[in-house]
Amino acid sequence: MRLRDAHKALLIALQAGSRLQVHRDLDGAKIYQLHALGDATSQELPAAMVMYLERHGLIESNLKFPAATFLLTDKGVQLAAQLSGSSRTPMGPRNFSE
């Protein structure tokens, strides 16, 4: 697996609390957006970048409609921690009680 700088930045952003969602319109078109923590703006991301991380088991979708949210997998959390040098983990279903 070869991660580009954009892949690494996305993993670190998710670790820091940003939210990655895929929004669908009524025709089924997908728009991938990264919502920064505490920021009302979002950044549109290329589908290929998100699918690459999903295919390599670093993120997974909660499969909700019309806007699914992607979460870091355990493998993704571990890699993000390695990349960022921080053991911080995003709030989510895996660490809610911690």
CB 32 within 8 A of CB 47: yes
Residue 35 pairs in a beta bridge with 19, 42
Question: pLDDT at residue 7 above 60?
Answer: yes
Best CATH choice for the domain 5-84 from the list 1.10.10, 1.10.287, 2.60.120, 2.70.98: 1.10.10
In angstroms, the Cα distances linking 33 to 29, 47, 56, 82, 87 are 13, 10, 19, 24, 25
Q: Is residue 24 packed enough to be buried (19+ CB in 10 Å), middle (13-18) or exposed (0-12)?
A: middle
Q: Alpha-carbon Rg of the chain, whole angstroms?
A: 13
Residue 19 pairs in a beta bridge with 35
Domain map (residue ranges) of the chain: 5-84
| Per-residue model confidence as pLDDT tens digits over 68-81 | 899 999 999 999 99
pLDDT cut 70: percent of the chain above it: 91
Give the global pTM. Answer: 0.85
Q: What is the band of 96 on the pLDDT scale with cuts at 50, 70, 90?
A: very low
Average pLDDT, the chain: 87
